[in-house]
Structure 1
Amino acid sequence: MFHIVLVAPEIPHNAGAAGRLALATGARLHLVKPLGFSLEDKHVRRTGLDYWQDVDLKVWENFEDLKQEADPAAKFWFLSTKATRAHWDVPFTDGDYLVFGCETKGLPEAMVYGAGEQAIRIPMAPGGTRSLNLSTAIAITLYEAVRQDRTW
């Protein structure tokens, strides 16, 4: 199973969409506080549709707690527009964590730069947009990981 990690997500629609992606791919969704919304928010439930109650969801007080509970063999991939390595150049394996930052700021720079080769980005055309919608970025990265893993 792959893991989707949202660090300090702000927009309930994106969490709902991430939940649907997790369910569609057999992934687990991790939300790291602070959350910019309540999990009872109608927008989370609306975007997650009637699937939300079936999402494999874990909520964490902080990122360090999540890392301590993770399998030591698991890799954490940190998605950022500041990274230089393309997501399609990464050897994803079952059990990996795909870590995304909040919608307005992304991941903290210390987290991205501290990740070394495990900081990755989704390439975009020069002169185009500066970033993608969070749920779009999750879908692109998660399905590349699933494509490589090919367990189903």
Structure 2
Amino acid sequence: MALNVALIEPQIPPNTGSIARLTAATDSALHLIEPLGFSLEDREVRRAGLDYWDAVDMWVHPHWRAFREAMDRERCLYFSSKAEQPFWEAPFQSNSCLVFGNETDGMPQRILEKHPERCYRIPMTDQVRSLNLATAVAIVLYEALRQTDVLEAHRDVAERR
């Protein structure tokens, strides 16, 4: 099973394009939960993903409820600058879904309140409110890959190149 990354109503095209490229590079699925703040045909989205779009396992859900119906709740881990637990303590599994809020509003408050035991943060100084979404996804996704030993399989492929 592959890891999954879900973005709730993403707003900034280059972030989503960069995250799409990241999921292609890690053989992870990308779930976009509408409404999106842009068209997937947007030039900036396409450019950030370069020519890797065919390798992206992308699912677009028309709203939160459709995503929740498609994804088992027990697989979801939520990441927010407002959470208490550090991300490396998340119980990553090989089929986890790493869920992120959007760039302007972050994780919806209802999720933080309903699932506090499944919410995690990336520690940082108090000089900034949050990290760039694509950066945050990369940090968490690679930690999940490390903890689930998926990186070992990728290492074998890289060594054959």
Taking structure 1 as the reference length, the TM-score comes to 0.94
Q: Distance in 2 between matches of 1:114 and 1:124?
A: 24
Q: Alpha-carbon deviations, 1:82-115, whole Å to 9, x = none?
A: 1100001112011111111110110111111211
Structure with higher Rg: it is 2
* Counterpart AA for 2:7: L
Q: Does 1:86 align with 2:75?
A: no
Partner amino acid for 2:58?
L
Letter in 1 for 2:148: D
Residues 149/56 of structure 1: CA separation in 2 closer, same or farther (3 Å cut): same
Which aligned runs of 4 or more in structure 1 are off by greater than 6 angstroms?
none
Per-residue Cα deviation, 1:5-49 (whole angstroms, up to 9, x for no partner): 000000110110110110111100000000000000011110000
Aligned to 2:95: 95
Question: Partners in 1 of 2:131 and 2:116 — Cα distance?
Answer: 22
Task: Map residues 1-152 of structure 1 onto 2, 5 A cutoff.
Answer: 1-71=2-72, 74-125=74-125, 127-151=126-150, 152=153
Does the 8 Å contact 1:113/1:119 carry over to 2? Answer: no
- Separation (CA, whole Å) in 2 of partners of 1:67 and 1:119: 16
* Structure 1 letter corresponding to 2:107: L
CA RMSD after TM alignment: 1.1
What is the SS of the residue equivalent to 2:52? helix
Residue identity over aligned pairs, in percent, reads: 45
TM-score by length of 2: 0.89
Unmatched segments (≥5 aa) in structure 1:
none
Distance in structure 1 (CA, Å) of the matches to 2:146 and 2:31: 21
Deviation at 1:71, TM superposition (A): 4.2
Q: Could you give the per-residue CA deviations for residues 111-131 of structure 1, whole angstroms, max 9, x where no partner exists?
A: 112112101110112x32110
Provide the rounded CA distance (Å) in 1 between the counterparts of 2:90 and 2:6: 17
